[in-house]
Amino acid sequence: MSFTLPTLDYSYDALEPNIDAKTMEIHHSKHHAGYTNKLNDAIKGTEFENKSIEQILMSPNIPDSIRNNGGGYFNHCLFWDNLCPQTISPSNQFMKIIDQNFGSFDNMKKEFENAASTRFGSGWAWLCSKNSNLSICSTSNQDNPLMDGQCGGVPIMGLDVWEHAYYLKYQNKRPDYINAFWNIVNWKNVETRYQASL
């Protein structure tokens, strides 16, 4: 079995001006494709060859090449899926769940923005589902919440804060990129992931 680069549900320029077309093209066709190919090479002939990506990531003591490229493969699949050309607002039902967990939608945003902006160097910010509750965390490099030693929740929304995700347009202004992210969140898909995690 091998993993394949997913095709996007939208064109590279569909997220403009929030994420520019050139960044999307390089991010998907070079970075994500690279993680996918390297993951396939790394699992060849190993005990991980016939496992799902979630099973691989949740395995203890995975070799670095599989951890980094498996995380890179999975994280970007999730990232593309929780983006869309125009924001799709949370349903009333999901908004209620956000309110119950964070007090308000704005509080959730603030906590997520804090996780994304304070992650030093390369990494990700996550909204997670754990025991039917929502929580926020961040991970370094291509780690994610499913991995050994992380929060143990199921990631339902992720934001890539590697410089390759924003540097062409935003340079050093990571907070501006984080702000723009809210304009292109597909809350319908985030909610679907939440429901599936229960």
**DSSP SS3 for 81:** helix
Q: Which residue, 113 or 160, has its beta carbon nearer to Mn ion?
A: 160
Instruction: Single out the segment in contact with Mn ion by CB under 5 A; choices: 10-18, 54-62, 117-125, 160-168.
Output: 160-168
Q: Which residue, 73 or 162, has its beta carbon nearer to Mn ion?
A: 162
Q: Taking each helix axis as running N to C, give the angle between helix 105-118 and helix 174-181, from 0 to 180 degrees, rounded to the nearest 10.
A: 150
Q: Which residue, 21 or 95, has its beta carbon nearer to Mn ion?
A: 21
Cis? peptide before 17, omega within 30° of 0: yes
Instruction: Single out the segment in contact with Mn ion by CB under 5 A; choices: 83-91, 107-115, 145-153, 158-166.
Output: 158-166
DSSP string, 115-177: HHHHS-SSEEEEEEEETTEEEEEEEETT--TTSTTS--PEEEEEEE-SGGGTHHHHTT-HHHH
Identify each DSSP E strand in 27-109 by its residue range: none
Q: Which residue, 39 or 98, has its beta carbon nearer to Mn ion?
A: 39
* Residue 76, both tokens: 């970007």
Instruction: Single out the segment in contact with Mn ion by CB under 5 A; choices: 38-46, 63-71, 159-167, 176-184.
Output: 159-167
Considering only CA atoms, which of 119, 125, 149 is closest in space to residue 137? 125
* Residue 97, both tokens: 């769940």
Instruction: Single out the segment in contact with Mn ion by CB under 5 A; choices: 38-46, 101-109, 157-165, 181-189.
Output: 157-165
Least Å distance between CB 119 and Mn ion?
A: 13
**DSSP SS3 for 87:** coil
How many residues touch Mn ion under the rule CB under 5 A: the total is 3
Q: Which residue, 143 or 160, has its beta carbon nearer to Mn ion?
A: 160
Greatest CA span in the chain, whole angstroms?
Answer: 49
160 near Mn ion, judged by CB under 5 A = yes
Q: Which residue, 134 or 147, has its beta carbon nearer to Mn ion?
A: 147
Least Å distance between CB 124 and Mn ion?
A: 9
Least Å distance between CB 140 and Mn ion?
A: 13
How many Cβ atoms are within 10 Å of 132's Cβ, its own excluded? 10
Least Å distance between CB 97 and Mn ion?
A: 28
Which positions touch Mn ion (CB under 5 A)? 160, 162, 165
